[in-house]
Amino acid sequence: MENNIVTGCTASHIAGVIALFNSLKENVTWNFDFQVYCTGEPDEFKELEHPDIELIFGVALPCNPSGKGWGDGREDPAMPSMYNRVLIPQQSFKKYKKSMWLDADTIALKDISVLFDWHLGGRAVAMTLNGNPWNKEKQLLRRDYDVDHGLGNTPACQSGVMVFDNRKWLELELTDMFVDATLDKNVPDGAYVVQSYLGWILKGNFQQLPFEMNVDVSWLDMAQQRGMLGDPYILHYIGGGKKLPWTDEYIYAGTNYTTLWKQFYNEGKLT
């Protein structure tokens, strides 16, 4: 395969990987390798053993800070599984031209393999803007921080879906920049952990994907009612470290989106 899709999880997020994998099998052209960066011991991940899943252990940054707005700012030993997405290019570049990261609380509804052919405009990574399609303020990086850091109208990224040009990322030394930022006490803590650090080092220099490629279920209905969103390719069950589709109900505008997620979860059986 020329490309790969990667997600990451601890044992507590295995349910999310199962639903994600099943949604990819049902809706996406299978022209990629599927890999899971596992944070934990191998015997904790037996539920994910499958011929089309490669489990990879020990991928972690040296520093994985907790965020002030994440899970009420608590320390979380699972943080490496959130941060290790920035290591994808150096893990993947020898074999894969492009790599895609998907959060374990996402599901694919349409054929997202089109993203492997997406033109990145010479940039190292593509993501959607943060926030939603109509609130321009929520799309700005400055809202990640308590004080003004001179960011102006710098756009903020949403890192639940990322498409990497692996060699371009390494050429720009973005992994090193990211690691340095997590270790630098002068870099402010952002509200959205890995996403805020990505925003800080990229300063808006990412290719913007359309919102359909990373749709937060909390604003899907309103965006479509306003005529600002087409059919979603990827649904994202964002919970801010406090809510998950395998433990909570996601009910918005009278629709229970957890019901859809459970269909792909398939009672915990990989398809």
Domains contained in the chain, CATH given = 3-268 (3.90.550.10)
Q: Which of 59-63, 145-149, 213-217 has the least mean pLDDT?
A: 145-149
Torsion sign over Cα 96, 92, 104, 137: negative
Buried b (16+ CB within 10 A) or exposed e, 74-110: eebebbbbbbbbbbbbebbbeebebbbbbbbbbbbbe
Average pLDDT, the chain: 94
Summarised one tens digit per residue, pLDDT across range 67-118 is 655 444 444 566 788 899 999 999 999 999 999 999 999 999 999 999 999 9
The Cα 145–Cα 128 span in angstroms is 20
Q: What is the largest CA-CA distance in the chain?
A: 49
Roughly what angle, to the nearest 10 degrees, separates helices 14-27 and 257-265? 80
Coil/strand/helix, residue 175: helix
pTM confidence score: 0.96
Tokens for 78? 């699972």
**Distance between CA atoms of residues 214 and 208, nearest Å:** 11
